[in-house]
Structure 1
Amino acid sequence: MTAVNTPARSINTVNRWRQIDSGKSLDRIRAGNDTPPMEQDRSSHFVRCDAARNMNRFYRLTVVQDLFGTTLLVREWGRIGVSCRTRCDEKQDTQEAQGDADRLAAEKMRRGYVPITGRARGVDSCQP
């Protein structure tokens, strides 16, 4: 078998096949009529700690849009410092997802969970 001498081509040239290329690119700047960019996710974080019962839990609610534009309510929960369980529920729109998140947040606060806000967000700890 002999080596074929071909001129060096850039990766963009190699991967652009005229027969199947639709002309769309992920790197191209969005046109004005494209779908709106994903909004920042809306997240609520709660902890529940009880040293007498060796309880050290967290619960996180997040409303996000996936790459296909589907609105999701993502629920994460578990023991602080251990990998968590996750559940994703599809919703019709952001308002429905936010309404369900608010309902679940109120339920968790009734059960003794405390919301984490401001500087402590993202820190899984029961220490003040």
Structure 2
Amino acid sequence: MPVTSRFTGYCRCQLVLINPAMNRRRIYFLEICQGLFNVVLFRAWGRIGYRVRCKEEWYVHIEDAIKEANRLYREKTRKGYQETSHYG
């Protein structure tokens, strides 16, 4: 049964996709945090061991950030990413 709502407020998660047969070692990081005036959805992704790409999206309401974070989480888990507890 897929997770439909991983994010419920301010939090973060790290997803990894490791498939040696296809030479895939990918990481995806999501975090919802409070900015100075707005809510920020921070994303970072890339190949493990290399420079990652980052993107920030600003939202007026936390509900919109949660909705987008859950959508991204579902998309990545459908592609085979798994959540890990390491944030380093």
Moved over 6 A (4+): none
For residue 70 of structure 2, the aligned residue among 82, 95, 102 is 102
**TM-score, normalisation: structure 2:** 0.82
Say which structure is richer in strand.
2
For residue 74 of structure 1, the aligned residue among 42, 57, 76 is 42
C-alpha separation in 1, matches of 2:67 and 2:42? 13
Matched, 1:63 2:32: yes
Identity among equivalent pairs (%): 30
Structure with higher Rg: it is: 1
Secondary structure of 1:75's match?
A: strand
Matched, 1:48 2:17: yes
Amino acid at match of 1:57: R
C-alpha separation in 2, matches of 1:65 and 1:83? 25
Matched, 1:92 2:57: no
C-alpha separation in 2, matches of 1:56 and 1:111? 13
Residue 41 of structure 1 and its aligned partner are, at CA, apart by 4.5
CA RMSD of superposed structures (Å): 1.6
RCO higher in structure (CA 8 A, sep ≥6): 2
Aligned residues: 80
Matched, 1:121 2:86: yes
